[in-house]
Amino acid sequence: MPRKNYCKETISWKPLLFASILLLCAFPGSSFSSGAQAVGESLSGYYAREGNGGSPAEAAGNNIYIRFFPQQWVAMLFLPYPYAEQVDGATIVAVFDAARAQTDSSAYLRGSFDLLEQKATLSIERYGYLEDRVLFECGSLAPCTIRMGEGYLELIKPGMINEHIIRYQHIPSD
């Protein structure tokens, strides 16, 4: 009597996988949807990386600043070090505003923005929410995560082995 091979009659996993992904995207949708200020990001002022003006800035070659904008936009400003030490907070806010006025979409901008003596780089991206965190594209293989605290934020960048957690202090605008 010939044996029947039951292994050849397999179930196609593609439709099941597709349905599962769709289901996972639909349920946490409410936590990823817009909800301005849901996790505490401040739209006034900006956040300055701890280590700006010190050895981290010297090693990286720049001071880094983050600012949130209405309609879920986030910008990261990279000012060359040591020039960044000469730039005051009002100028940093003005650079963020000037760069944001130049684009209505995600962009990488490089220039002096008619405010700086040296060129700076600025990245503007949309962000979303996932539970108690902010997610946005930051030029890595995976999105960056921001965990908000009282008067600070922690930027969590994915790495090959470990996550890199960088703390930023909130600098209120005058």
Q: What is the mean pLDDT of the chain?
A: 83
**Domain-embedded: residue 21:** no
**Domain-embedded: residue 116:** yes
**Domain-embedded: residue 56:** yes
**Domain-embedded: residue 22:** no
The neighbouring-strand residues paired with 81 are: none
Kindly state the DSSP code that residue 118 receives in the 8-state scheme.
Answer: S
**Domain-embedded: residue 20:** no
The domain in which residue 111 lies consists of 42-171
* Confidence (pLDDT) at 8: 53
What are the two backbone dihedrals, phi and then psi, of residue 89, each rounded to the nearest 5 degrees? -60, -40
Q: What is the mean pLDDT of residues 96-124?
A: 95
Copy the structure tokens of residue 36: 């301005």
pLDDT in tens, 45-92: 999 999 898 998 999 999 999 999 999 999 999 999 999 999 999 999
**Domain-embedded: residue 32:** no
Q: Above 60 in pLDDT, residue 113?
A: yes
Q: What is the mean pLDDT of residues 31-49?
A: 68
**Domain-embedded: residue 59:** yes
When divided into structural domains, the chain yields a total of 1
**Domain-embedded: residue 5:** no
Global pTM value: 0.76
Tell me how far apart the alpha carbons of residues 25 and 162 are, in angstroms, rounded to a whole number.
26
CATH code of residue 133: 2.40.128
